[in-house]
Amino acid sequence: MTNRILKVDRVRSAEEAAALEDLGVDIVGVDLSADPRFDDDRTVSVQQAAEIRQVLHDSRLVAAMDLHTEPDEIVRLAQLLGADMVQPITIVVPPYPVRIALREAGLEIVYAGLEISHDDDPGWVFGRHDDTPDLGAALFQVDVLPEYEKSWDFLRTESPRYPEEFQLEDLVGFGRERPLVAGLDLTPGNVAEIATRLSTLQGLSLTLAGNPTRDDVRFHTLDAALEVLPAARRALLPTG
């Protein structure tokens, strides 16, 4: 059995990337375009992204970028910095010509930017993706209940009081249906339970950021991420 995935997005330097890989991060994400959810300094240039790629030995690199530009330019940029995968900055499905160009270049897509709120109907979360052919999806990534600071506690203990709305069992079911990583309020104290209860998922994700532009956004500061990652890596090791 292989290790489950640990993914960290919005890495901004080679030094951060090297430290994260040493902590067992499998997928390192970089933002080539500004993320409207944050007003910080974590958008990187192509040169900075290439420098991050150079220090990675085993971790894969995913480039978050605008996927609504010219297909050839998207492929050129991804290949220039040595990305293994790309992902949209916001919750979008890239146009068909872009998906085809990426597939022909051997570049898979991480469908990130999906947020699941407490009152979401589970049937709507992946509706657009399920209706789209040739997605070229390597992975799906969701942030779960970002409107709650303690999202895991709410999902585990409060959501059952609202049976018509999103439940822990829905997230477990999503993990059976598709390759999925999820972001929650990961801490050294809860990550082992989260990894165990969400064993159908391929892994967990964290987003590095500061200065959010909305109140209902999930993120970790770099210091908080460095604190939780050792426990996360242990929790995601195979058990059998």
Closest to 48 in 3D by CA, of 12, 83, 85? 12
pTM (predicted TM-score): 0.95
Q: Is 172 exposed, middle or buried (0-12, 13-18, 19+ CB in 10 A)?
A: middle
For each of the domains in the chain, give its residue range(s) and CATH number, in order of start.
5-235 (3.20.20.70)
CB-based contact 28:205 (threshold 8 Å) = no
Where is 180: in which H helix or E strand?
strand 180-183
Structure tokens at 200: 């159908």
Helices (H), the chain: 14-22, 46-55, 71-81, 96-104, 122-125, 127-130, 151-153, 168-177, 191-197, 222-235
Mean pLDDT score of the chain:
94
* pLDDT single digits (tens) 42-98: 999 999 999 999 999 999 999 999 999 999 999 999 999 999 999 999 878 999 999
The model's pLDDT over 89-128, given as tens digits with 9 standing for 90+, comes to 987 899 999 999 999 999 999 999 899 999 998 888 998 8
Q: Could you report the per-residue pLDDT of 117-130, keeping only the tens digit for each? A: 999 988 889 988 99
The CA distance from 52 to 156, in Å, is: 37
Measuring CA to CA, which residue among 219, 184, 205 is closest to residue 4?
205
Confidence of residue 230 (pLDDT cuts 50, 70, 90): very high
Q: How far apart are CA 18 and CA 28, in angstroms?
A: 10
